[in-house]
């Protein structure tokens, strides 16, 4: 009777090991296939700058970080940029502006509106930090 249960357990272990091995072989191509998905938005950086200043004579120093990118909507539907942030710093204020390069007026419009399918817009973001991020202007770097 004992040999019967040992045979069943060895068979379950062998079949289970084979299933895990086959799953490992199949999982890698599935991950690769999923990673091929095209990104909805693509970004090309135009310029980024930052400065330390004061809002008025009595205010504490603030840091302004501004960046411009050309953003392309690669999808077949409208896309809105709903949030902007810097990964290492918490900002107190952020303004998002968009400029359509095909518009002859060449005006920057602040607000959140959709980017049409396969359209490229110039996007500008200005972050305000109500305390200096660094003590001197040459210490902050963008990567």
What strands lie across the sheet with 41-54, from one edge to the other? 41-54, 61-73, 120-129, 93-99, 109-110
Q: How do residues 2-50 score in pLDDT, each as one tens digit?
A: 788 888 888 998 888 888 888 888 888 887 777 666 788 888 888 888 8
The residue whose two tokens read 């840091």 is 63
| Mean confidence (pLDDT) of the chain | 81
Alpha-helix residue ranges (DSSP H) falling in the chain: 2-35
Q: What global pTM score does this model have?
A: 0.60
For residue 1, name the pLDDT band (cuts at 50, 70, 90): low
């Amino acid at each position: 009777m004992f040999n019967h249960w040992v045979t069943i357990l060895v068979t379950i272990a062998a079949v289970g090991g084979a299933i895990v091995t086959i799953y490992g072989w199949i999982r890698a191509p599935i991950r690769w296939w999923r990673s091929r998905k095209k990104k909805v938005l693509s970004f090309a950086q135009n310029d980024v700058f930052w400065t330390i200043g004061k809002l008025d004579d009595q205010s504490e120093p603030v840091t302004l970080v501004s960046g411009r990118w050309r953003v392309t909507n690669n999808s077949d539907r409208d896309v809105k940029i709903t949030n902007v942030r810097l990964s290492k710093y918490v900002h107190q204020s952020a303004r998002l502006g968009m400029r359509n390069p095909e518009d002859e007026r060449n005006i920057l419009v602040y607000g959140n509106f959709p980017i049409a399918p396969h359209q490229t817009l110039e996007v500008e973001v200005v972050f305000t930090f109500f305390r200096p991020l660094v003590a001197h202007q040459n210490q902050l770097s963008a990567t």
